Every structure is written in structure tokens, then in C-alpha cells.
Amino acid sequence: MWKKFFSSIGIGSVKVDTILHDKKVALGETIQGDVVIYGGQTDEPIQKIHLLLYLQYEEVRKDSDFSWHDKHIDELTIVVNRHIKAGENERIPFTIKIPDEGPRTGEKHKWFLKTTVLINQSVDPTDEDELMIV
């Protein structure tokens, strides 16, 4: 009973690690990788995996107190709908395309891929990886 409770608040729950085959890609190319889900202390129902490709850019605005802003570029949702058992590891491959046009990584532009595993009535584990767009 306690394991289930702690798991629901993120203690001893599922962990996620996104492994990119290459963190350095060019505009117009495709990112390939694997989402690795590490089972926690109890079985947990995995609904979906959500991958969000976004650009972080620096721009001073009069309407904001922050100089860094996020721009949603693309997303991919992988439907899983199964239980991951306690201690089980699951590897799920994915591909996501970088746009043909856009800024390259530099002092004022950074690219990220954020992974979220959606679990009912629990803290959703996340992972974030920085990309080098050349």
C-alpha cells in the first residue's frame, strides 16, 4: 500500500531517459532515438509518451520580465496504454524531424527535446535533452 502511495507522488516511481542517437543534427534532418522507461517499485499504467521539440531564444521584450522565451516547434505522441511492471525496462524508438528552416544553435538560440511519460493519477516523469542544430 505504501509503495503505491509513494509511487503516485513520484517516490520510487517510473523514471524516463531519452537517448538520442546523435545530439548534433542539421536543419531538415531527422532525430532518432529511444525513450527508455525504467519501472519503479510498483506496476504503473503508462498511457502515452509525449515528445516536445522546442526552441529557446533570447529576446528582450517590454511585456516580459524574462529575456529567454520558449517556442513550440513540433511534438510527437506515442500511445503506449499498458502497465510497466516493477523493475521492468522498456525501450521505445522514435523519430522526429527538425524543420527545414530556422535558427541554428548559438548564443541566442538553444534547441531542446522534452520527454514526458503520462501516468494516470501520478507524477509524470520527464527528461530533457539539449540538441545542437548546425
Arithmetic mean of pLDDT over the chain: 88
* Other beta carbons less than 10 A from residue 31's beta carbon: 24
Domain residue ranges of the chain, discontinuous segments joined by +? 2-133
Return the CATH fold of 2-133.
Immunoglobulin-like (2.60.40)
Mean pLDDT in residue range 104-113: 94
For 33-71, the pLDDT digits (tens) are 999 999 988 889 999 999 999 999 988 877 777 788 899
**Whose grid coordinates read 511492471?**
85
Contact present, 7 and 42 (Cβ < 8 Å): yes
Question: Does residue 4 sit in helix, strand or coil?
Answer: helix
Whether the full predicted model's pTM is greater than 0.85, yes or no, is: no
Q: Which of 84, 99, 73, 105 is nearest to 35 (CA)?
A: 84
